[in-house]
Chains A and B, each alone.
Chain A
């Protein structure tokens, strides 16, 4: 089976007062990230600043990993770092599958989803939204994380993503 292509977006929300890219990138820089214009990089990870809401209370970042999907420990450390500035972060993981029936993938993950269906799961105390788009071969998983529930990341990785990422799901 082809490995899915993954894309991660982080919508970082600030509490009551505007935050912004400058503040976040400064914080990341002091934690070993290297700033290059609108991007910061560290080891295999690269974050690109996309946009800030007009009220300044939210910024949208794109996360890329040179190895395909970020290592859970590195990802957790990144979120912990971001959450020293942010109130909470909405995380969107988009998996694109080529030549794979997404409905079958969803089924094997125990989701039993039909076309363009949305399912809400509880994992590690967090509500996870799983959306499948078979006609374009995509699955979008999203959830919110704050500093108190960061532990859910490991559960989501082990219960949900592991199957996708280590090719446990088959084509048929």
Chain B
């Protein structure tokens, strides 16, 4: 097998907390995306037999076709990586992970005699323990029993993939997805002792959006998670400073007001006089500890809690700037200014835009981080949002797979190289 073969058969997989992104090097800049979940079918039911459903687990784009009642969904729909970590003995979660991996590879495995398997670069949360690496390597091996899908594989932490995609060897990567946020200082390799994980991501903002919808008379819609997510993406705003933004919204209600329509339905959403709450959605992602959110917590909205999963603590309420400071301050003093000077914001939870008519009031995530860090006495920082932040981990996987020579063998002590299955 040659270097040339490897370069044209690199395959990236980003095991995100909500979305699973995958695809080979040849497909360009945007991977395929499906939800990181699987549905365990009820094979014994008479309808399953009549309809010819023979699979135990359904994953991928056709999954919604198999969903049954809400009670069944709660029991049989498994999201294996809600926090980025799969428990060692969580059999169902590992089954789903295996099926999704198979689904991704089979979608792109060419039926060509010259095909000898992909060089797979998988990416896991930086807090993923070693047993997750071992189990994933086992899965790649098991998938080769029927045909060679995986020629060789390697696994890299998601923040490192982002740094690789941007070719920045010394930086802080803040990777914020649906279920968690990882703050990871990098100096050639991730500085694992300095990593800080937050138990919140885009899903926390969905919860708040749902409360806002209830308060404005759309309680019936607030139960539909997908719809709430779409509403969040369309109306959510990130304020430079929350108090100033609310004041602006109350003085200029027409500038903040926005009606949205849900495509393919008759649904229209207009927050009316409560349009100032659009700013709360963005603020909550960055700073859920702001006193304005106390009223929501008092009315029963769940507060992002501190949890311990495996050996890792995920903090719920730490604000984004504080999380960066805590992570950086665990590194050597000499390194700290270099880390502050390159902060990369990546992941779907940093997809916030600032409309021109709200310039100076609503900001982009890099500007928000700059403002928050400045208020805490950190200056001379350079924060950038990754281009299309949702896909930057997958792109990093592709870049890494392309660059690492095909004969560079996997080493557990450094966690790098290819584990060969040929």
Write the residues of chain A forming the contact surface with B, with a CB cutoff of 8 angstroms.
7-9, 11, 38, 50-55, 58, 60, 62, 90, 92, 94, 96, 114-118, 131, 133, 135-136, 138, 140, 142
Contacts and interface: CB of A to CB of B under 8 A. Distances in A.
Q: In the complex, which range does the number of interface residues on chain B fall in?
A: 20 to 34
B111 A94 contact: no
Nearest to A115: B111
Given A53-B402, A54-B404, A7 B28 contact: yes
A51 B27 contact: no
19 contacts: A7-B30, A9-B26, A50-B402, A51-B402, A53-B3, A53-B7, A55-B405, A62-B28, A92-B8, A94-B27, A116-B111, A117-B110, A117-B112, A118-B110, A131-B110, A131-B112, A136-B107, A138-B27, A142-B8
A58 B26 contact: no
Interface in B100-133: 107-112, 114-115
Contacts of B399: 50-51
A116 B108 contact: yes
Contacts of B238: none
Given A53-B402, A54-B405, A58-B7, A118 B111 contact: yes
B403 A140 contact: no
Interface string B26-43: 111110100000000000
B351 to A, nearest CB: 20
Contacts of A51: 398-399, 402-403
Contact of B27 (A38, A53, A90, A140): A140
Contacts of B115: 118
A133 B29 contact: no
B29 A62 contact: yes
Sort A-B residue pairs by CB-CB distance and give the 5 closest, nearest first: A7-B28, A118-B112, A51-B399, A92-B26, A118-B110
Given A51-B402, A54-B405, A136-B32, A9 B25 contact: yes
A128 B110 CA distance: 15
Interface in B370-405: 395, 398-399, 402-405
Contacts of A62: 28-29
